Amino acid sequence: MQALQNFQFTLRNRLQIVENLGLFKSDEVGHTQAKRAAVAVTIIRNHAESVVVITRRSSALRAHGGQWALPGGKIDQGESVVEAALRELYEEVNVSLDESSVLGTLDDYTTRSGYLITPVVIWANIDWDAMSPNPDEVESIHPFTFSELARPESPYLETIPESTAQVLSMHYERDRIYAPTGAILYQFREVGILGRPTRVAHFEQPVFAWR
C-alpha cells in the first residue's frame, strides 16, 4: 500500500487506489439481523483535483433529514451491494455508471439505527457539473476534496456519557461530518489516499444519529 503522490484526478491515482483497496481486504460482517445498505464513495474531478461526492440530505426526510451523507440507501431484494450503490448514486445525484467504475469496497459499518452499511468506492470520469440533486432526497451536493480529507486535524475524536467508545467526525469547511459518514470518509482517506490499513468499526456515532 502506498500514499498518493498528489491529489489530481489521474489514471495513476486511480490505479493506486485500486491497489490500496485490494491489498487492504475489507472486513465483511457475516449473518446479521441489521438491514443491509450500501453507500457510494464516489471520486470525481473538480477543477483537476479529486474530490469525494457528499450530500446534504433533504430536510423533508423523516430519517436523518438535513444531515451530511454519502449517496446510498437500503439494498433491494435481489440486489448486490455494488448494484445498490450504483442505483442510489443515479437516483440521488443523476450519475449513471456501470460496474467497471467500481474500485473496491471498505469495511462494513454497523449503525446504531439498525443498518449494516457497505461502502463501495467508485471512480466517476465525468465533470462535476454533470451531477444534479434529486430534490426529494438531496438538498445539495458538495465536493470533499482529497486535500481537505487529508487535513492533519482530522479526525476529531470526542467522548460522550452514553458510550465508552469515542465519537469520530471529520472536519469539513467550518462544519464536522460525524460517523457513520465521517467514519467511512476517514477510512477511505487512510486506505485509499494515504495507503494505511485502518479500521473504523469501533468508532461511535453521535446520539442524534442513533435514531
pLDDT computed for residue 62 by the predictor: 63
What are the sequence ranges of the domains in the chain? 11-209
pTM of the prediction?
Answer: 0.92
pLDDT of residue 26: 84
So what's the architecture of 11-209 in CATH?
A: Alpha-Beta Complex (3.90)
Query: Which three three-digit cell numbers place residue 114?
Result: 439498525
Average pLDDT, the chain: 91
Instruction: Kindly indicate the confidence band of residue 33, based on its pLDDT and cuts at 50, 70 and 90.
Output: confident
Q: How confident is the model at residue 93 (pLDDT cuts 50, 70, 90)?
A: very high
Q: What's the grid cell of residue 174?
A: 467550518
Q: In terms of DSSP bridges, do strands 115-127 and 35-46 run parallel, antiparallel, or are they unpaired?
A: parallel
- Residue 20 pLDDT greater than 80, yes or no: yes
The residue-averaged pLDDT of 198-210 equals: 87
Measuring CA to CA, which residue among 136, 108, 118 is closest to residue 74? 118
Write down the pLDDT at residue 60: 60
First vs last C-alpha separation in the chain: 37
Q: What is the pLDDT of residue 164?
A: 87
Higher pLDDT, residue 109 or 65 = 109
Look at residue 206 in the predicted model and tell me its pLDDT: 87
Q: Which of 67, 29, 88 is nearest to 210 (CA)?
A: 67
DSSP code string of 71-91: SEEEPPTT--HHHHHHHHHHH
